[in-house]
């Protein structure tokens, strides 16, 4: 199984809503990542987890809250988002200290 599964695939939320994005992998990877990608732009790193501990936070606003409850799961909790937060949110995983990352298909988020 070399798959990273992200749910939901599409999400529309209001600026006062609270929602969560989920990411799951069963490859035994101990590094997991959240990226944000706008149309026709490269993915931008948001967070990195290493062995379930947050190792990188790229100065992401607090309305995005990551969580890694176990080695297979990664969540991104969303609260009070702005329309400019609309984007494709990508989750990835890799073996620790291995740059070969596996990406999910992403969650297409629209904030209205």
Question: In angstroms, how far is the first alpha carbon of the chain from the final one?
Answer: 36
67 binds another protein (CB under 8 A): no
In Å, what is the CA distance from 78 to each residue of 1, 2, 3, 20, 30? 29, 27, 24, 6, 23
Q: How far is the CB of 72 from another protein (least distance, A)?
A: 17
Q: Which of positions 13-52 make contact with another protein (CB under 8 A)?
A: 31, 33, 40-45, 48, 50
9 CA to centre of own chain: 12
Residues that bind another protein (CB under 8 A): 4, 31, 33, 40-45, 48, 50, 55-56, 58, 90, 92, 94, 97, 99-106
């Amino acid at each position: 199984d070399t798959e990273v599964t992200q749910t939901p695939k599409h999400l529309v939320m209001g600026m006062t809503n609270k929602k969560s994005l989920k990411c799951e992998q069963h490859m035994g990877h101990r590094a997991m990542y959240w990226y944000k990608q706008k149309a026709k732009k490269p993915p931008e790193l948001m967070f990195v987890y290493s062995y379930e501990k947050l190792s990188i936070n790229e100065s992401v606003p607090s309305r995005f809250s990551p969580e890694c409850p176990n080695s297979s799961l990664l969540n991104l909790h969303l609260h009070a988002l702005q329309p400019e937060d609309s984007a494709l949110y990508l989750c990835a995983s890799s073996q620790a200290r291995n740059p070969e990352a596996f990406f999910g298909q992403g969650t297409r988020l629209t904030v209205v």
